[in-house]
Chains A and B, each alone.
Chain A
Amino acid sequence: MAVKSKKNVSGSELTDEQHVALLRHMLAVRCTDERMLKLQRSGRIGFVGTAKGIEGAIIGSAYALKPQDWLWSGLREGGAAVMRGLPLSEYIAQMYCNSNDTAKGRQMCNHFQHKGSHYPSWSSVIGTQIPHGVGAAFAAKRRRLDEVHAIYFGDGATSSNGFHSGMNLAAVWKAPCVFVCVDNGWAISVCSAKQTAAEKFADKAVAYGMPGVTVDGNDVLACHAAVQEALERARAGEGPSLVVLETYRMMGHSSSDDPTRYRDDKEVAAWAAKDPIDRFEKLLIAAGTIAKDTRAQLEAELYTQIDAEIHVQEAAPKMALRTLVDDVYAEVPRHLQRQYNNFIAVAERLGHATPGDGAFPL
């Protein structure tokens, strides 16, 4: 779609092309989630944790990163990885945990990685990536690399050990990193007001000796601007900052969670009215950047791409059995090779194991 390189949205540093790109990236997150949920419901993939409602926060913030910067994922930033270069094919292969998955099907769904755009996968253990990002930023500084490390995590993760040690070390070391807290209101069933007694998560920055800002996380441009500023500060050698993006997790924690057990439909409806995509679309229509039917066009294009890729990944083979003992160490140690050989011998005598029917609860 041809959009002129104008700046029609007042207050935004970005061009119209960039605005449309942002809208498209946000829609890509939503459309992909939508398809993944369908696949999960039909039993094709195991589990989905969606980003519905937080697209503005993750896309706006990550859009400020330069190609050489790193994004340390906390949980729901897969869509930002796609924007920064993770091929959709690899994203969907990861959801299938099939033989095209670069992590060899070893992680649960929603644990993406992409080396090319500096996006290590998260482990599942909440908060552990925070000090990793700090250490990597320290290394960048020591090695005089022009890169900043954006460390993402949720409101829940602010209670983890990793948050406190990471924030403290980063400030003491003036490490070139930005802490991006996506406060989506909930950590599974625990609301942010029960996660901290501080008035704002951003207040925590004060104690560690760094700036902390609170941003409307459903305003994609505000998220971009705030993280941009924090990145510049880090890049200039002025040290880390904490940026808290206040938004809302519209769906359950994951495809297996029933949020009606613990939260009020009214709260959900109030946030639905502030949907980051609807809001940005309206803004762009009002500015004359896009037409009324642009969103529908973009969605149709996205679904075509996503569906084609699902088709390919659906047919991809499962991970080979021999990978069972790979990558534990650089080389398969002798004892492990023996365990594997014995296992194969049993399979030859008695046939192979059959998959169980256990399902993930959360």
Chain B
Amino acid sequence: MANLTLVQAVNDALKTAMRTDPSVLVFGEDVGPKGGVFLATDGLTKEFGEERCFDTPLSEDGIVGAAIGMAVNGLKPVCEIQFQDFIFPAFDQIVSEAAKLRYRSGGQYTAPMVIRTPYGGGIRGGLYHSQSGEAYFCHTPGLKVVIPSTPHDAKGLLLASIDDPDPVLFLEPKALYRAVKGEVPEGKYKVDLSTLRTVREGKSVTVFCYGAMVPVVQKAAEQAAEKGIETLIIDLRTLLPLDEEGVLDAAKMTGRVVVVHEAPRFCGFGAEISALIAENAIEYMEAPIARVTGFDTPFPNTLEHHYMPDDRRVLDAIEHVYNY
């Protein structure tokens, strides 16, 4: 066991995968000698050489498109998009190609690959270094979408993603890169995709969240506990395919549900959770489902702390559904 930050756990996962599987290779903008702008790929070129970890020209479309070809032809690409905000030149390759290759070829061709990219606010990055675009990708059958919130899960989920037979978009909460630290087992282990994680047990209110919102919700839950409200916190960790049974069980447990994400509200992931519960467990609900989200605006710059859900806003929603 080592005590690692989330970004160190990502780094550890990449090294572990590269040590155990020679077909794994890492590439993207500035991932080589610089080690990535967040140092997620620090030391990889040094340990594995330029053949296995290399810088690419500034072309997201090229990075993802080429990764598909590599995956089709026997390599295991783990490419990086420097910020999730810059993934859109590659949107076509992800949505039209990687996600549909298995289906359109009747299973003859597949693209087992991982696209890692930091997402989310909290670094004063303005509207192009802060977005949470998970909903765009969750609307894409054929793709898996994974978001860790702890160092342990970051490593285990990334290793599971690298071994997965399908393309995985691995969104890393950049606000947590250095803000969380935890025990991470040495060597290879996997955290199953499509299973949620219970962060905190509670009988009063269920809060669904993921990524950088998990510690925010934990903070709110502590304050709620002081008021006698026991919060069940669920970290979804794999958004697509979603552990629907797990979501419904957790919702039924309390009959009071809050969903938290920093992405805009309209057509956000909270809408899917809310609809799932409304369709399958409405009779268990004691209160309307509440969402705490970013605004339906682009991501602000100087006002970012007002935009991002914080413990105040989460607590307010918890109390609202509790007292309903």
Report A's interface with B, CB cutoff 8 A: 46-47, 97-98, 105-108, 111, 123-127, 156-157, 159-161, 187-190, 194-196, 261-262, 318-319, 321, 323-325, 328, 335-336, 339-340, 343, 346, 349-356, 358-362
Contacts and interface: CB of A to CB of B under 8 A. Distances in A.
A319 B33 contact: no
A190 B30 contact: yes
Contacts of B29: 187-188, 190
B102 interface: no
A156 B129 contact: no
Contact of A352 (B38, B122, B265, B306): B306
A190 B54 CA distance: 10
A190 B124 CA distance: 24
Per DSSP, chain A at the interface is loop
B108 to A, nearest CB: 29
A326 to B, nearest CB: 9
| Chain B interface bracket (under 10, 10 to 19, 20 to 34, 35 or more) | 35 or more
B175 A358 contact: yes
Nearest to A261: B34
A123 B128 contact: yes
A354 B303 contact: no
A352 B126 CA distance: 20
B89 A350 contact: no
B58 A190 contact: yes
Closest 10 CB pairs of A and B: A124-B128, A189-B34, A159-B57, A108-B126, A358-B123, A105-B302, A362-B37, A156-B58, A358-B122, A262-B33
A352 B310 CA distance: 10
Given A339-B265, A340-B295, A358-B124, A319 B55 contact: no
Per DSSP, chain B at the interface is loop
B266 interface: yes
Contacts, number: 150
A97 B124 CA distance: 11
A159 B88 CA distance: 15
B127 interface: yes
Given A159-B58, A189-B33, A319 B126 contact: no
B58 A126 contact: yes
A195 B86 CA distance: 18
Given A124-B128, A126-B58, A189-B55, 4 more contacts: A261-B34, A339-B265, A353-B305, A358-B121
Contact of A189 (B32, B125, B301, B304): B32
A361 B38 contact: yes
A157 B59 CA distance: 8
Given A261-B33, A350-B312, A360-B125, A325 B266 contact: no
Nearest to B34: A189
B123 A157 contact: no
Contacts of A340: 295
Contact of B58 (A98, A187, A261): A187
B305 A188 contact: no
Contacts of B38: 361
A3 B33 CA distance: 50
Nearest to B89: A161
A188 B297 contact: no
Nearest to A362: B37
A302 B303 CA distance: 32
B22 interface: no
B142 interface: no
Contacts of B286: none
Interface in B98-155: 121-129
Contacts of B56: 190
Contacts of A361: 37-38, 123
Interface in B272-324: 295-298, 300-308, 310, 312-313, 315-316
B85 interface: yes
B61 interface: yes
